[in-house]
A and B are shown apart, each in its own frame.
Chain A
């Protein structure tokens, strides 16, 4: 944890700046207005050279004296207040706690400042973007979601965590993994395998796949949270480990891969820190059912949402590579999606004993 300082931190100064905007506008009888970068597809661009999704410069105005925005504005100021309180007390908290901390009924009314957490979460993201402060810097953490196992040793709050000696459960990846919070003391692995699903990660962990192939197994249980992505990125950058991504064969799996590789639209401002442009997609590819003779009956019919999503992906700039266009079109043509779990149809250990070894040996992956 950061050491206590009497002087306001940089982040705290930025938060106080918000109050100054209000005060200055009031002085001049102007409508207090915040400039918030837009977090949407319309305001991101794909930097082909860097292989990253980058946020553009479009901003939206959030002004107080506008019926549609007044509440949001008020909420933004409240959250800023709560965040600066965290700075002063040097505490780290969760999104949900911020929600509870800022929730109260407005005086002389029956209205609550926030009705549900989904109102406060985006406000925090707004602040992250507009103050250009990372979530860690704001002292906000998400739920720990993700596990890691393999030949790597961390230092966490002074404790030594050897991920090769944590059984099949592994180490639960904290949501903040910046060097000052989590230290990578030693790493002898050859590569990182990021698995979409916890179940398949369990399979690999139980089979000690990491020991035989000297790798780090990482999972985010679905869309990997920031902690997992950031940790993978650190292992990649600090220890030069290649990162392979293993996901379901469906549009959502493809997207998870793309988020790991290029960054997400919503958090485009963090791509630089999170994205791993050299990450590789090992599977499941839409070519695998044929190559590995998966029977058609273990596939699942693509539903309308899947198809719509797949077509969206086809239009994303970062999926424009011919190999990827072919990959997605092949899935659409077959009309089926496959889960990683479907490999169990051949054998319970097919993934560890056949599929991955073959893939890695043949270097059968997509970039």
Chain B
């Protein structure tokens, strides 16, 4: 019974866990009359408080530690989320290093066989003050994020300490932390464990050490886990993280000794999300009661005005009048039916939607940049929806698409000119699209089918956009669908944050975003098909003419003037296919990459579209010649003198004061040096028009 209680009111009991006293025996129900009677007193003797830590030790699956493979991912995820949240809040462009090492006793074990790992996550964030370190890492539900409505990756303050507890449970090893708050301060080394009974930290080791990093935090966990690549792996998670967070430089040392580097392709921090007060529509009755108790205001009207957003003094008075509550009544004295009337009135009063500038979306350009960097395709597009509200919580939906095979890749498998045997080359078309989901920039890897985003993808009619789709299935084709929900409070279906709950408002926004992406893709696909089919037509005839002429020649006993027949047939062929028109079918004239905003198109000849994004990635990746940025990108730019440009774009990005930049506008985009300075003069704000407009 007690256990049930703790789980049901997880959030509530948590904040009061350390202070609450055992419940009085008298409140318990009398023991049921049965053969073996146990008195209430006896039962009472057995009833005692359960600490959150104990609860989660038993119920670790609630936090994502159900199996060794997932547990390893959860550890990495919690540590990286914390690192990124800290860096961003402090206004630092995050550099994060993740290192997974196999821990073996004695003989070296292959990574895929090992069952014990050391996870080390290092960031260049603000560091943590010495006094707080033990509690942050070894006390559940301790943190800065729960008590405010602000968009962040973490929400409850369970994650990293739960990971530590999991390590402690499976390997007995403490969590090791190094943290330094600045070059002048000393670095502190801690080894902490959690006292699961009291939910209090136990400090094993605490000393000052030398650390090569001037600032930042490093967490080392030793945990039982299983490393396996593929779906829902650490590798996939980090890759997806880098797609949605192109402002992060991520270095990943795999347990197999490889080093993967995810470069920073977007050199500006996302704008700081702002903290907001709850909106009356978003609270429940119990929450209102609690707020009434906790408020600092002395009058109900003052409480309404100061503790909620979108409630002005005038509105507060109107609400009081409507609820028949004296505006000057003391909030703490509102109870029972009166409070209930107030709650109902609050829900019925017409209020403005909550402010939405508290959310920081990734932004269309950054999504493009991330997708382009990580996914090979020929068409990319991204859409950020305007903010919307569900249950009083503002949110923004963003969607993106990466479609097709990059031209280089298309050529590759065809290079070996082996004639195809019967049955070969028929398997390819079965590929289905992949959905990558994010909540507040964190990839969601599990429970795809329970997720609102996934449902929205399924319910979108992709056939309208030139794709195949069987009933109730994902669309077919080489495609990655990106969906991101940013909100002050993302409604997850469970504590382990794996799927977004299915609110109508959310579903609608996702669908709208996907449709816009789909429309652009449809235009692209159709144009490609038209051009390709014309091309194919001519190609077909040219290919077959040779065959037909040869066969006719043999039929006629080899006495045919072959060249003459061939020329005649070729003349008919080109007269019958659109002639020069085919070249124009690609729609190379006009604005934008084929007139599609916020899109990148990769062709054999080069990259069109948000070329700044593209060129920079190219430069970062391999030092290949970047297409020139700015006004006339794309087709005509010569690749003559890239050598001087490339390093500029790549090497030192002007480290502007991120705060200042962030304050400027939510959608300003700065890509590397050159285009950056250009954009500064441009008007900040939504850049819906394609940049290539002439």
Contacts and interface: CB of A to CB of B under 8 A. Distances in A.
Interface in A173-203: none
Interface string B563-603: 00100110111011000000000000000000000000000
A18 B536 CA distance: 26
B544 A71 contact: yes
Contacts of A71: 540, 544
A1 interface: no
B197 interface: no
A312 interface: no
Interface string A74-117: 10011011001100000000000000000011111111110110
A14 B533 CA distance: 35
Interface size band for B: 20 to 34
Interface residues of A, number: 37
Nearest to A30: B572
Contacts, number: 93
B555 interface: yes
Give the secondary structure class of B's interface. helix
Nearest to A83: B555
B548 interface: yes
A112 B573 CA distance: 21
Contacts of B423: 116
Contacts of B560: 19, 23
Interface in A144-185: none
B555 A29 contact: no
A19 B555 contact: yes
B546 A29 contact: no
Contacts of A104: 419
A113 B547 CA distance: 9
A111 B540 CA distance: 10
Contacts of B565: 22-23, 26
A15 B555 CA distance: 8
Interface in B16-69: none
Contact of B572 (A29, A84, A113): A29
A19 B556 contact: yes
B308 interface: no
Nearest to B550: A81
A27 interface: yes
Contacts of A67: 533, 536-537, 540
A65 interface: yes
A64 interface: yes
B681 interface: no
A82 B510 CA distance: 59
Contacts of B569: 26, 64
Nearest to B561: A23
A18 B555 contact: yes
Given A23-B565, A81-B554, A65 B573 contact: yes
A99 to B, nearest CB: 9
A106 B546 CA distance: 9
Contact of B568 (A29, A78, A80, A111): A29
A16 B556 contact: yes
B547 A106 contact: yes
A119 to B, nearest CB: 10
A70 B544 contact: yes
Contacts of B422: 115-116
Contact of A64 (B536, B548, B556, B575): B548
Contacts of B575: 29
Nearest to B552: A19
B548 A29 contact: no
Of A26, A71, A77, most B-chain CB atoms within 10 Å: A26
A73 interface: yes
B465 interface: no
A106 B560 CA distance: 21
B231 interface: no
A19 B560 CA distance: 10
Given A16-B555, A81-B554, A105 B420 contact: yes
B57 to A, nearest CB: 57
B679 interface: no
A225 B541 CA distance: 37
Interface of A: 15-16, 18-19, 22-23, 26-27, 29-32, 64-65, 67, 70-71, 73-74, 77-78, 80-81, 84-85, 104-113, 115-116
24 contacts: A16-B556, A19-B556, A23-B560, A26-B568, A26-B572, A29-B572, A30-B572, A32-B548, A64-B569, A67-B533, A67-B537, A77-B548, A77-B552, A78-B547, A78-B551, A80-B551, A85-B554, A106-B544, A107-B543, A107-B546, A108-B543, A109-B543, A111-B543, A112-B420
